[in-house]
Structure 1
Amino acid sequence: MLFEPWSLTVSIGAFVLSATILLVAGVRLARVVDLLADRTGIGEAVAGAVLLGATTSLPGLITTIVGALAGEASFAVSNALGGIAAQTMFLALADLSYRRANLEHAAASVPNILQAIVLIGLCGLVFVGVTTPHLSAFGVHAVTPLLPIVYLYGLHLARRSHDAPMWRPHRTRDTRTDEPDRRSRAHPLPQLWIRFAGMAAVVAITGVAVGHAGLSIVAETSMRGSVVGGLLTSVITSLPELVTVFAAVRIGALTLAVGDIIGGNVFDVLFIFAADLAYREAPVYGAVDTGTLFLLALTVVMTAMLAAGLVYRERKGIGFEGISLLVLYAAGVVVLVTL
């Protein structure tokens, strides 16, 4: 094993400390990114996907790389997929806290819908990699370089759809449009970028501790890597998304909240790109277990339900998509543990 395992006590302590740091940093990130969205003019949906989504995903990325370097393919890939499932479920929880309207109705935007579609496409590419492990060269699968290309093109489409949309969601009295806050001008842009970079560095460093603790639990117990990665480390490294989505809803940045989750989920697929590069035994896709494949399928189904909710836009309550996401995630946990 590349890393010497910690004791269970030390591993649990690392989880608790990391979770605390990530929770505190997540609240502050939401406010800073909301200000950056207004000051730069890129909009909440794109800021949520690129700045907030990618930054809050850094702990998970580092955890996945740590797992891949240690030779734990299922742990590494399941950490990525489990994070996507957990973060999608977080949107349903945030929907419960927003009493005025259905969150997907109020925050409907073309970039968010487009990002959800891109996410399903990226998961499809991962499935191609799993079913064709022989299509590789120098230990890297042919699908791997396609992941960042599709991701970047998806961001390009999201930005274009924000700047010059070919159609718009029907505006109702419950719709919250993305309007820049004039008060954001009081915050100097360089200062905002410095604050953003500092918090990004803090959340990234915690990924090393979470990854080491997760690998230690795999080594010291009988738990499978896909269970530890899919249910433990993925949830802990997703805590910034949990607090940022609630913080964004609280300050009324609804498009940012949804964009954070969907954009972060799209970025999380790039964890598998990093895992394949770091996993040197063979392409990482062919080394995963059944639990990891189940998480991949669960991710696709949950994302499809979220996209349907963004298009259908129920007015009140958490809607069919919110109920479906909560039920699917709960059922997924049970199935993954019992596989």
Structure 2
Amino acid sequence: MWSLWPSVGALAVAVVVLGFGGTRLAYVADEIAERTRMGKATAGALLLGAVTSLTGIVTTATGALSGDADFAIANPIGGVAIQTVWIAIADLLYRRTNLEHAAASLPNLLQSLILLALLALPVAAYATPDLTWGWFHPLTLAIPALYLYGLRLVKSVEDHPQWTAKETADTGDEESPEQSNKTMRALWGWFALLGAVVAGFGWVVAKAGLGVVAATGIPSSIAGFTITTAISSLPELITLLAAVRIGSIELGIGNIVGGNVFDTLMIAVADLFFVGGSIYASVGPRSLVLLAGTALICAVLAAGLVVRDRRGIGFEGVAIPGIYLATIGFAIMAA
């Protein structure tokens, strides 16, 4: 485990590198989405969401292998929560209109609902901790199955939507930047390289974050929900801000919502890497409080995509950070 000051220094270097790599990653992903007609929401979920979530996978697996169940569960749940808070922060920087209004689309809304469904599975597992297959809970296998089916549904509604959000002057993306003269092979090469940079320095962030946590001595569930997730989700924040900066709003929101859906896979990772039995039998009530608060945050985001408040900061921009802070407070009070 790294000590405090080397961890702080590593974080400073990682933020600079991730700032460059995350920005370029958003540009490349935006051009790939345009050329392949993949769809901005799908590209945000598959290209940006998955790559920027690699950091959290490392952190979660490390916590589970070390036998810290509360930390391993809190890390992916906290990742979903803090990354949704990033949208409220990005709202402050996007002057045109409310981000949820501009990015309202059936794929983004559907992914928010899929996310709520995925968060419901650990609740059922928590209530049946003694139900195991070998060392893990059978519902752990349902998480990736539901995730893959959800991706299929998102692609289906993107290709053949049964309804669409009403277009307004503030709907959708701004004019995309002029495309480069790079071949598709070169674009995919750049994406792989930048993804490796983000993932590699994401590992640095995870190790440094765990060093900071070890030096502070705060409860592991609270640390996993706040400190390490805030640090390890920096790539998501940076790519979101970069996408907003270039006017690719649906890509940016798809990155967060799709990344959140991907992050629920880490709950399955936590259970599979926790070899002392089902991880749900080892976590305390704090983890359930954190899960409930995160589900409420996701529900508010889905409501924001439906209501589509046109003000710069809508009700969800105030409610999401408020619920996040209240969740931390209730978790601290939980026995």
TM-score range for the pair, normalised by the shorter chain length: over 0.9
State the Cα distance separating 1:210 from its structure 2 match: 3.7
Q: Say if 1:214 and 1:229, in contact at 8 Å, map to a contact too.
A: no
Q: Say if 2:125 and 2:137, in contact at 8 Å, map to a contact too.
A: yes
- Equivalent residue number for residue 196 of structure 1: 191
Distance in 1 of aligned mates of 2:258 and 2:10? 27
- Equivalent residue number for residue 274 of structure 2: 279
Distance in 2 of aligned mates of 1:182 and 1:16? 30
- Equivalent residue number for residue 233 of structure 2: 238
Tell me which stretches of 4 or more aligned residues in structure 1 moved more than 6 Å. none
Distance in 2 of aligned mates of 1:163 and 1:177? 18
- Equivalent residue number for residue 163 of structure 1: 159
Distance in 1 of aligned mates of 2:129 and 2:17? 38
Unaligned runs of 5+ residues in structure 1 are none
Alpha-carbon displacement from aligned partner over 1:290-331 (angstroms, at most 9, x marks no partner)? 322222111100000000010111122211111111211232
* TM-score when normalising by structure 2: 0.94
1:31 matched to 2:45? The reply is no
2:132 to 128, 132, 136: 136
Superposed, 1:37-186 pairs within 5 Å as 37-176=33-172, 181=176, 183-184=178-179, 186=181
Distance in 2 of aligned mates of 1:304 and 1:116? 8
* TM-score when normalising by structure 1: 0.93
SS of the aligned residue for 2:309 comes to coil
SS of the aligned residue for 1:140 comes to coil
Q: Say if 1:107 and 1:258, in contact at 8 Å, map to a contact too.
A: yes
Residues 91-100 or 18-27, more deviating: 18-27
1:229 matched to 2:224? The reply is yes
Q: Say if 1:83 and 1:234, in contact at 8 Å, map to a contact too.
A: yes
2:243 to 235, 241, 248: 248
What amino acid is aligned across from residue 102 of structure 1 in structure 2? N
Distance in 2 of aligned mates of 1:72 and 1:214? 15
Number of residue pairs aligned between Structure 1 and Structure 2? 334
Distance in 2 of aligned mates of 1:204 and 1:63? 12
State the Cα distance separating 1:208 from its structure 2 match: 3.6
State the Cα distance separating 1:239 from its structure 2 match: 0.7
Distance in 1 of aligned mates of 2:5 and 2:63? 20
Q: Say if 2:107 and 2:157, in contact at 8 Å, map to a contact too.
A: yes
State the Cα distance separating 1:263 from its structure 2 match: 0.3
Distance in 2 of aligned mates of 1:144 and 1:113? 24
What amino acid is aligned across from residue 292 of structure 1 in structure 2? S
Distance in 2 of aligned mates of 1:270 and 1:242? 20
State the Cα distance separating 1:279 from its structure 2 match: 1.0
What amino acid is aligned across from residue 8 of structure 2 in structure 1? I
1:6 matched to 2:2? The reply is yes
SS of the aligned residue for 2:312 comes to coil
Query: Structure 1 residues 116 and 29, CA, compared in 2 at 3 Å: closer, same or farther?
Result: same
% same residue: 46
Distance in 1 of aligned mates of 2:331 and 2:16? 26
Distance in 2 of aligned mates of 1:19 and 1:229? 19
2:308 to 310, 313, 319: 313
1:261 matched to 2:253? The reply is no
Unaligned runs of 5+ residues in structure 2 are none
Distance in 2 of aligned mates of 1:240 and 1:7? 23
Query: Structure 1 residues 294 and 15, CA, compared in 2 at 3 Å: closer, same or farther?
Result: farther
Q: Say if 2:294 and 2:324, in contact at 8 Å, map to a contact too.
A: no
Distance in 2 of aligned mates of 1:294 and 1:22? 31
